[in-house]
Amino acid sequence: MALKTREEYIESLRKLDLKVYMFGERVENPVDHPVIRPSLNSLAMTYELAQHDEYKDLMTATSNLTGEIVNRFCHLHQGTHDLVKKVKMQRLLGQKTAACFQRCVGMDAFNAVFSTTFEIDEKYGTDYHERFKRYMKFVQENDLTVDGAMTDPKGDRGLAPSKQADPDLFLRITEVREDGIVVRGAKAHQTGAVNSHEHLIMPTMAMREDDKDYAVCFSIPSDAEGILMIYGRQSCDARKLEEGADIDLGNSQFGGHEALVIFDDVFIPNERVYMCKEFDFSGMLVERFAGYHRQSYGGCKVGVGDVLIGATALAAEYNGVERASHIKDKLIEMTHLNETLYSSGIACSAEGYATKAGNFQIDLLLANVCKQNVTRFPYEIARLAEDIAGGVMVTMPAEKDFKDPVLGKYVEKYLVAKEGIATENRMRVLRLIENITLGTAAVGYRTESMHGAGSPQAQRVMIARQGNIQGKKELAKAIAKVDESKNRSTVKA
């Protein structure tokens, strides 16, 4: 089965014995829990669209490993055409869900691990790459969703992993056995972890020899012994627990989620280990994964931005101010910022290149420029959306008041705007803007734009490293005809 349907994906999750906790209690049925289900619906869209002929060019690809058609989220990029289609696919899914559809992290991890294991084997004569190829065939043939997990809790950021007061604040190898390894620790902020069949674990930073126990990469089923997940709270998430909630949710169908994933002495068989203390390759893996994931934001955030711009334009129309010049100008600015993000995502894809392993890597400099823009532009887009929507977006009465037999007539009467527009429709659009800019979807739009795939300074470090300032100085010298032999020494006799 190379392509699962939406229904098959959902049923496959029901078969897992996931240990998920929320609000201090175990969630016995994560698939149907009202807080979790919208995020599952978002991820299910990656399966649903792959079944539609009009989207198959973006949503599917031919596997270089099996020759079969696979979901693009399970694909190893075979050219810049694949990198470009990836970004276009992510924009499409953002448009369809207005939320985080969670499957990007695994796709980015696949491609980073594939190329890095090849180069580890090249140096050390290990067989990690062949192991990982077998794992990728398993993932592709079963159309699995895999949580790509990199971020550790980190503890004291000023200390190396091995210098922490608690050595488990970075996930580590605690034991090496003849048949595998045992690991302990946690991965934080794990997007889509509860909706995933598997976890693919990577080191969180470049390691030195003292930290080699933390240089580990492996895959493991999500319901393996010793793994538990604590669901992350989101703003306004309790609204999903209200009976009959619809309007107040803003986006009642879709959402995203993160979780803290605990590894309590988990055994990993050798066949699923792809890095074991090769600390000198941890930086390469982190850098490549981060580059792919920073490229991703030029697609997914743009798709959600499309929805937010549309909702904002509707709010202006419903308020009767759509013809005002300053409103038009703000919508133009929102569009300009959104398309600039998309341009960066496409550019770093088009400038991609082949790795030694044969899959394609994005241009790292442009990918980091893309993500640096994402740490800024969605905030301005959200600000303009809130400006146009007006204060009623965060002060209007609840849906229950609107539907109340006594209070409803007052809400209907006093929240009315432009003639001919139903008050309910105005409320729905305003709640959608609230959801994307302030509510549960903000995790997948505003806040994730800042911290997802690394905080702003992480991109600036990479931009400095990739920017080739010395090369640019040489260009300037050539144009200006600088003769350095004429430079005088500043040392005084």
Residues marked active site are found at: 100, 104, 191, 258, 293, 297, 300, 448
The Cα–Cα gap between 177 and 237 comes to 43
DSSP for 112-159, please give it: HHHHHHHHHHHHH---HHHHHHHHHHHHHHHT--EEEE-----SSTTS
Distances (CA, A) of 431 to 331, 393, 406, 467: 19, 7, 22, 42
- Residue 35: how many CB atoms within 10 A of its CB? 21
- DSSP label at residue 397: P
Comparing C-alpha atoms, which of 456, 115, 79, 92 is closest to residue 289? Answer: 115
In the block, residue with structure tokens 């280990």: 273
Amino acid at 164: Q
In the block, residue with structure tokens 């009959």: 244
Distances (CA, A) of 225 to 220, 266, 277, 318, 439: 10, 7, 23, 53, 34
Burial of 463 (0-12, 13-18, 19+ CB in 10 A): middle
Contact predicate 194/147, CB 8 Å: no
The Cα–Cα gap between 333 and 315 comes to 16
C-alpha 356, offset from chain centre: 26
Contact predicate 47/4, CB 8 Å: yes
